Amino acid sequence: MSLGYVRPARPEDAAEIARIQLATWRVAYRRLLPRDVLDDLDEASLAERWDAAVRQPPSDTHRVLVAVEQAEQSYLVGFAASGPVDAEALAPNEPADALGADVVAVTDLLVEPRWGRRGHGSRLLAASVDLWRESGFDRAVAWVFEGDQASRKFLTTAGWEPDGAGRALDVDDMLVPQLRLHVAVPTEPPPAG
């Protein structure tokens, strides 16, 4: 376990969040998504989106958190983004109100591979759960690629399980299957220690 902490993202973090996202996708999804799609992702465009997400979130319950590794210097090593469910959280043909207003959707939870297995993902998830609880959410959902064994294992080890929903993303004429995981948000924080 490393020395590290989680804090809310700041506007000046946007470029680093984009870099982490791109580096992580290019490693984690290299066998799941077409190479040209990953190669064509534009870091500057991603940074603009993250800047907007941090500066002007759609609501008070939309959050972007960053994980920081502490050593002689501090490094941003991962991030998590979540907010109330919207159309992106729904399965195909699922009614708009199927998930309810008390459900939060995780849109991203990534730790740069070279910083993996040092507790950063767990800290990001725990900090997110604390914020979800404070905001009154009682369940969380997240879409994961069926072939992304690392993310599936991380979340299922933390108590998440498939909720039966699935979909396939059309990525450059290639259908990439995803499944939705869910978990109850505990009403009380875990005991210290």
CA–CA distance, 94 with 101 (Å, rounded to integer): 15
For 86-118, write each residue's pLDDT tens digit.
Answer: 999 999 999 989 999 999 999 999 998 876 677
User: Mean pLDDT over all residues of the chain?
Assistant: 91
Name beta bridge partners: 110.
79
How many residues would you count in the chain?
A: 193
The yes-or-no verdict on residue 190 having pLDDT over 70 is no
CA–CA distance, 39 with 30 (Å, rounded to integer): 10
Q: Which residue has the tokens 């009614």?
A: 95
Q: Which of 10-14, 119-123, 155-159 has the lowest mean pLDDT?
A: 119-123
Query: Which DSSP category does 83 fall into?
Result: E
Name beta bridge partners: 182.
141, 161
- pLDDT at position 36 is 85
Query: What is the three-class DSSP state of 171?
Result: strand
For 138-188, write each residue's pLDDT tens digit.
Answer: 999 999 999 999 999 999 999 999 999 999 988 888 899 999 999 999 887
- pLDDT at position 192 is 63
Q: What is the pairing mode between strands 63-70 and 139-145?
A: unpaired
CA–CA distance, 169 with 175 (Å, rounded to integer): 5
Between 151 and 2, whose confidence is greater? Answer: 151
- pLDDT at position 71 is 76
Residue 63 has φ and ψ, to the nearest 5°, of -130, 145
Q: Which residues contact 87 (CB under 8 A, 6 or more apart)?
A: 96
What the block records as the tokens of 34 is 């077409």
CA–CA distance, 14 with 37 (Å, rounded to integer): 21
For residues 106 and 57, the answer to whether their CB atoms sit within 8 Å is no
For 40-70, write each residue's pLDDT tens digit.
Answer: 889 999 999 999 999 999 999 999 999 998 8
Could you tell me the CA-to-CA distances from 160 to 43, 80, 99, 151 in Å, in that order? 31, 16, 16, 11
Please give the model's pTM, rounded to 2 decimal places: 0.92
- pLDDT at position 1 is 45
Q: How would residue 30 be classed by pLDDT, with cut points 50, 70 and 90?
A: confident
